[in-house]
C-alpha cells in the first residue's frame, strides 16, 4: 500500500510508510509519502458542484489512513473509509479534549475547539451531564411538535417568493431564513437579530488563516450578545429553551455553570442554522439536476423521508470534521494503527461516499435503501438537532415540490459559485425560475 502511495507521490527517498510508527503485530502504520499527490494539506478543493473532495476518493483507495497538514501546520491522520470513520467517532478510544500543551490544532490561532465549556469539546461523563440537560428539547417527539409551525414559516417564505415573481435567489429567500427563524423560535432569540449572528457564524466557521483577528472579534461580540440575551430572559421569561436552561442553572448550579449555559445557547444558534440552510440549498440543486425526481416526490409523498436521507447523505456541506485524538494505541477496522496522542480527522462526507458501504455512492437516488449515512455524526456527539433538522428538511422539500412544480435553475449550473475557506462548503446563491 505504501508503495502505491509512494509511486503516486513520486517523492524520492520517502521511507516505506512507517514514518516511525512501529505498529502492533499485524497492524499497518499510516501511509506516508502520499502528500505529494494531493498537496497533503486540508482543506482539499471540493469535488464537482461542491461535492466530496476527489482527494478523499483517491486516499480511500490508496492510503486510507495517511498524514495531512492542517491550516495550523500540525499534522494529523486523515481517515477516509466508512468503518474507520465510524470507529473514530463512536468507539471508546478517541477524545475531543485537545486542550493540552502540544495537542494538534485545526488553526494556529485560538478557535472554538479550545473552549472547555463547549459540549462539542467534552468527553463523557462531563459531556453526558451537559447533554442530558438540553436533549429533552430535541427528542423526535419535541421536534414533531414544531412541524406545524415550521410549515407555516416555510409557506410564508414561499408566499413572498411567489409574490415577487421569478427569478429568485432561493438561498437568500428560503433556504437560510427558514432554519434561522426556526432556531430563533426554538431557543428564544429575536429573529430580527439574525443578520448579526449570520455574520458572526460566517467568520467563526472560517478556516482561512487571515481571518484570525476577525474571528476573535466576532467571538467577543457574539458572546456579549448571548450574555445580554440571557440577562434579558432572566428579567423577562418567555417560556422558551433559554428559560429552561436558566432554570436548570439557577435552581441547581452544580448541574450547569454560567459559562456552560452561555456556550450551549451560542452553540445552538450557530449549529442550528448554518448546516441546515446549506443542506436545503444543496438539496434543491440536486433535485433540479435530476428533473424527474421532484415529479416522483409529488406523485409519491411517502418517499419524502427517504429523499431527505439521500439529500443528507449526498449533500452535507462540511468536508471536514472536528478533530479527535487517540487516547491509546488503536487498530482501526482497516487494520491501520493510530498511536496514542495522534490527532485524527475523520470526515463524515468521506464515509458517505465510500463505495464499500454505498452502492454507486456518486448516484443521487431518492429511493436508495439501507441509507445509513453519517451526516449527523455518530457516537456521543451525534447531532443534538438531528430530529429537528429532519423535520425542517422534510417540510422544506415538501413545500417546494408542491408549490413550485415548474422550478428550474435560472443560470447554467457552471455559473454557480461556492463558498471557499470555510468549514462549510455551500452555494453563494441559488438563482431559480419557474
Ligand atoms: C442538516 C442539518 C445538520 C447537520 C448535517 C448536522 C451535523 C452535525 C454533526 C455531523 C455533528 C457531530 C460533529 C462531531 O461529532 O464531530 C453535529 C453536532 C451537533 N449539532 Fe448538528 N447538524 C445539523 C443541524 C443541527 C441543528 C438544527 C441543531 C440545533 C438545533 C444542531 C445542533 C448540534 C449540536 C448542539 C451538536 C453538538 C453535539 C455534541 O457535541 O454533543 N445541529 N451536527
Q: 18 C-alpha to center of ligand 1: Å?
A: 35
Ligand 1 pocket test target in 264, 269, 386, 395 with most atoms within 8 Å of CB:
386
Distance CA 427, CA 281 (A): 7
Q: 193 C-alpha to center of ligand 1: Å?
A: 22
- Here the cell at position 159 is 408566499
Q: What is the pLDDT of residue 1?
A: 35
- Here the cell at position 406 is 415548474
CATH number of residue 114's parent domain: 1.10.630.10
State whether the beta carbon of 279 lies less than 6 angstroms from ligand 1: yes
**Would you say 84 and 90 are in contact if contact means Cβ atoms under 8 Å apart?**
no
Q: 25 C-alpha to center of ligand 1: Å?
A: 37
Which atom of ligand 1 approaches the CA of 179 most closely? 27
Looking at the structure of the chain, the number of domains it has is 1
Q: What is the pLDDT of residue 419?
A: 84
Q: Domain containing 399: what range? A: 2-433
State whether the beta carbon of 343 lies less than 6 angstroms from ligand 1: no
pLDDT in tens, 289-316: 998 888 899 999 999 999 999 999 999 9
Report how far Cα 101 is from the mean position of its chain's Cα atoms. Answer: 27
Residue 39 pLDDT level (bands cut at 50, 70, 90): confident
User: Which one is predicted more confidently, 53 or 216?
Assistant: 53
Average pLDDT over residues 320-339: 95
Q: 275 C-alpha to center of ligand 1: Å?
A: 8
State whether the beta carbon of 384 lies less than 6 angstroms from ligand 1: yes
- Here the cell at position 210 is 487571515
State whether the beta carbon of 316 lies less than 6 angstroms from ligand 1: yes
Instruction: Look at ligand 1, atom 9, and give the residue with the nearest C-alpha.
Output: 376
pLDDT in tens, 88-122: 999 999 999 998 888 999 988 767 667 888 899 99
Instruction: Look at ligand 1, atom 39, and give the residue with the nearest C-alpha.
Output: 381
Q: What is the pLDDT of residue 9?
A: 33
Ligand 1 pocket test target in 376, 423, 424 with most atoms within 8 Å of CB:
376
Which atom of ligand 1 approaches the CA of 324 most closely? 16
Average pLDDT over residues 353-358: 98
For helices 194-204 and 212-235, the axis angle rounded to 10 degrees is 140
State whether the beta carbon of 89 lies less than 6 angstroms from ligand 1: yes
The whole-chain average pLDDT of the chain stands at: 88
In the chain, the N- to C-terminal Cα span, in Å, equals 51
pLDDT in tens, 183-196: 999 999 987 888 88
Q: What is the pLDDT of residue 3?
A: 33
**Would you say 227 and 220 are in contact if contact means Cβ atoms under 8 Å apart?**
no
In this predicted structure, the answer to whether residue 72 has a pLDDT above a threshold of 50 is: yes
Instruction: Look at ligand 1, atom 11, and give the residue with the nearest C-alpha.
Output: 383
Classify residue 206 by its DSSP letter: B
State whether the beta carbon of 383 lies less than 6 angstroms from ligand 1: yes
**Would you say 382 and 137 are in contact if contact means Cβ atoms under 8 Å apart?**
no
Q: What is the pLDDT of residue 34?
A: 61
Amino acid at each position: 500500500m505504501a508503495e502505491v502511495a509512494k509511486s503516486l507521490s513520486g517523492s524520492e527517498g520517502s521511507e516505506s510508510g512507517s514514518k516511525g510508527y512501529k505498529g502492533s503485530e499485524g497492524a499497518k502504520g499510516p501511509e506516508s509519502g502520499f502528500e505529494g499527490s494531493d498537496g497533503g494539506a486540508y482543506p482539499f478543493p471540493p469535488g464537482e458542484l461542491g461535492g466530496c473532495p476527489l482527494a478523499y476518493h483517491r486516499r480511500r483507495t490508496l492510503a486510507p489512513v495517511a498524514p495531512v497538514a492542517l491550516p495550523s501546520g500540525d499534522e494529523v491522520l486523515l481517515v477516509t473509509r466508512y468503518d474507520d470513520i465510524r470507529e473514530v467517532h463512536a468507539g471508546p478510544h478517541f477524545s475531543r479534549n485537545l486542550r493540552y500543551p502540544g495537542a494538534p490544532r485545526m488553526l494556529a490561532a485560538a478557535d472554538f475547539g479550545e473552549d472547555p465549556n463547549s459540549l462539542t469539546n467534552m468527553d463523557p461523563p462531563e459531556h453526558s451531564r451537559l447533554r442530558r440537560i438540553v436533549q429533552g428539547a430535541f427528542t423526535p417527539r419535541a421536534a414533531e411538535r414544531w412541524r406545524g409551525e415550521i410549515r407555516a414559516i416555510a409557506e410564508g417564505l414561499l408566499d413572498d417568493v411567489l409574490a415577487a415573481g421569478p427569478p429568485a435567489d432561493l438561498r437568500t429567500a428560503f433556504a437560510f431564513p427558514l432554519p434561522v427563524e426556526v432556531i430563533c423560535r426554538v431557543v428564544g432569540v429575536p429573529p430580527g437579530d439574525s443578520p448579526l449572528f449570520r455574520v458572526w457564524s460566517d467568520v467563526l466557521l472560517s478556516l482561512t488563516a487571515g481571518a484570525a483577528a476577525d474571528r476573535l472579534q466576532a467571538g467577543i461580540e457574539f458572546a456579549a450578545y448571548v450574555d445580554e440575551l440571557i440577562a434579558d430572559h432572566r428579567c423577562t421569561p418567555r417560556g422558551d429553551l433559554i428559560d429552561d436552561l436558566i432554570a436548570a442553572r439557577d435552581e441547581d448550579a452544580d448541574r450547569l455553570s454560567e459559562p456552560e449555559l452561555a456556550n450551549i445557547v451560542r452553540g445552538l444558534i450557530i449549529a442550528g442554522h448554518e448546516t441546515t440552510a446549506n443542506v436545503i440549498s444543496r438539496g434543491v440543486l440536486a433535485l433540479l439536476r435530476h428533473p424527474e425526481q421532484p415529479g416522483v416526490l409529488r406523485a409519491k409523498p411517502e418517499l419524502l423521508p427517504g429523499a431527505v436521507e439521500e439529500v443528507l447523505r449526498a449533500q452535507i456541506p462540511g468536508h471536514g470534521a472536528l478533530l479527535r485524538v487517540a487516547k491509546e494505541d488503536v487498530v482501526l477496522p482497516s487494520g491501520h494503527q493510530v498511536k496514542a496522542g495522534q490527532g485524527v480527522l475523520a470526515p463524515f462526507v468521506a464515509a458517505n461516499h465510500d463505495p464499500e458501504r454505498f452502492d454507486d455512492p456518486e448516484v443521487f437516488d431518492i429511493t436508495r435503501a439501507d441509507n445509513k449515512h453519517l451526516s449527523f455524526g455518530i457516537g456521543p456527539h451525534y447531532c443534538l438537532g438531528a430530529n429537528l433538522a429532519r423535520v425542517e428538511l422534510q417540510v422544506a422539500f415538501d413545500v417546494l415540490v408542491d408549490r413550485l412544480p415548474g422550478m428550474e435553475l435560472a443560470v447554467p449550473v457552471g455559473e454557480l459559485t461556492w463558498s471557499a475557506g470555510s468549514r462549510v462548503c455551500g452555494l453563494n446563491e441559488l438563482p431559480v425560475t419557474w
